[in-house]
Amino acid sequence: MKLATSIAVAALLAAPLAEATLPPPTPEQLAAEQNRRAQEEARLAKEKEQLERAQDRVAERYRKDRAGAQASGGVDKADLPQNTKVAPGTAAPEGGRRQSAEAHSAPAK
């Protein structure tokens, strides 16, 4: 126990002495880092341009497909579900036998 305590105290006292700093980078290392960063920026710019072109193609195809679907005509109101035909302003809970949309549990007995 005393040995572990003495080792821990010695480590704590030696920690500030063991702290070291790295030497500053050489000019060759700085040039290599700048070159690597420039290559990375060029690669990212190229990927961004490719992504934008792909997104533009997808958006154009979507617009073209949607224009054909809208030109075919509207939806008959008889084909719509009942919930879309409900008059506006009836979203608040109402009394009666029908459970409100805000209820999240089973009806009380």
Tell me what percent of the residues of the chain surpass a pLDDT of 70: 60
User: Which amino acid is it at 71?
Assistant: A
Q: Where are the domains of the chain?
A: 25-67
**Between 83 and 45, where is the model more confident?**
45
Q: What is the pTM of this model?
A: 0.43
Q: CA torsion sign, 67 to 87 to 83 to 79?
A: negative
**Chain mean pLDDT for the chain:** 78
Residue 12 is predicted with a pLDDT of 76
90: how many CB neighbours lie within 10 A of its CB? 7
Could you tell me if 66 and 59 are in contact, meaning their C-beta atoms sit under 8 angstroms apart?
no
* pLDDT per position as a tens digit, 46-94: 999 999 999 999 999 998 888 766 655 666 777 666 665 555 555 665 5
Residue 65 is predicted with a pLDDT of 87
**Between 23 and 75, where is the model more confident?**
23
Distance between start and end Cα atoms, the chain: 68
Query: Residue 91 corresponds to which tokens in the numbers above?
Result: 């979203």
pLDDT at 95 over 80: no
Helices (H), 1-109: 2-18, 27-71, 82-85
Give the mean model confidence (pLDDT) for residues 3-32. Answer: 82
Residue 96 is predicted with a pLDDT of 59
38: how many CB neighbours lie within 10 A of its CB? 10
Q: CA torsion sign, 68 to 72 to 74 to 76?
A: negative
